[in-house]
Amino acid sequence: MGVESGDRIAVALSGGKDSSALIYMLNKFFHDRRDLQFVAIAVDEGIKGFRKLTLDNAEKLTDKLNMKLFTYSFAHEFGFTLDDIVSRGFEQAPCTFCGVLRRRVIERKAKELGSTKVFTAHNLDDEVQTIMINYIRGDIERLRRLNMHRIDEFVPRIKPLRSIPEKEIAVYAYLVGLPLLTAHCPYAKLSFRFSVKRMLNEFEMRHPGTKYSLLRGYEHLMELLPPSTEHQRRLLTCERCGEASASKLCKVCEIIARMKMH
Ligand code: SF4
Ligand code: ZN
């Protein structure tokens, strides 16, 4: 699935190099297509000393490209920030909460804005990390979901950069003059993903091509697997928020309940 005439595309923009490069490319290739509309959605998770820098960048870039930017925050949408969640000392890494909540904000807002598709800037490294995380955990269901339209997803998500290595996107961003921020999320190192990222980078350095072959191998494997039973399962509605969910209470409402309890 790609860009089709009449599409209203919401681009998830963090203001980091990948999403900045994506929005820059979309503007470059499609700016004269009157049959398409692009808007940017940014999410402020509430990470002190980090997110403001990238959001400022997102604002400057969308101003320059004359693209509308909608910014939403965890604080406003859920009543607490990611820093608040972290301060409660839950066992899971911050990224676990962050990913679930950010996904909800983007999904809900894209729907409200009438978007037909959501573009995200996941690159080859992100994609291969996710594949490897699920291999390690033996989570075949999630591996499968990665490759298809999710049952709890109303607006289809597309990752146009999923086969481009992170380093190549960084070089592109540098060459076209996009600001390269050196700020990193302070919570990134606490995630399982971070260990997998380090391992894959080491492998790639010693055995160039590892990331591509992992992605191709995964795609080949998906062709061989029988269709998912979960995917065919009847879609439930969360009994609290009414959003589509794979269980009675969706992951977002679970987090909200934990925040109220603690
Ligand atoms: Fe959220 Fe983790 Fe990304 Fe930080 S690194 S913004 S906590 S998903
Ligand atoms: Zn819910």
Cβ 44 vs Cβ 74: under 8 Å: yes
Strands (E), the chain: 8-12, 37-44, 68-73, 117-119, 157-158, 236-237, 244-245
User: Ligand 1: which of 82, 86, 95, 129 to mutate, judged by most atoms within 8 Å of the beta carbon?
Assistant: 95
Q: Give the residue-averaged pLDDT of 108-126.
A: 96
pLDDT category of residue 216 using cuts at 50, 70 and 90: very high
Q: Give the residue-averaged pLDDT of 173-202.
A: 93
Taking CB atoms and a 6 Å cutoff, what residues make up the pocket around ligand 1? 45, 94-95, 98-99, 185, 187-188, 191
DSSP letters for 74-128: HHHHHSS-HHHHHHTT-SS-HHHHHHHHHHHHHHHHHHHTT-SEEE----HHHHH
Q: Which ligand is nearest to the CA of 236?
A: 2
C-alpha 121 – ligand 2 centre gap (Å) = 26
Q: For residue 167, is pLDDT > 70? A: yes
* CATH classification for the domain delimited by 8-229, as one of 1.10.10.10, 3.40.50.620, 2.60.40.1110, 3.60.10.10: 3.40.50.620
In the chain, what are the domain boundaries? 8-229
Q: What is the residue-averaged pLDDT of the chain?
A: 92
Write out the residues surrounding ion ligand 2, Cβ under 5 A.
238, 240-241, 250, 253
Q: Give the residue-averaged pLDDT of 96-113.
A: 96
Comparing 1-5, 34-38, 62-66, 131-135, the range with the smallest average pLDDT is: 1-5
C-alpha 254 – ligand 2 centre gap (Å) = 7
Cβ 94 vs Cβ 86: under 8 Å: yes
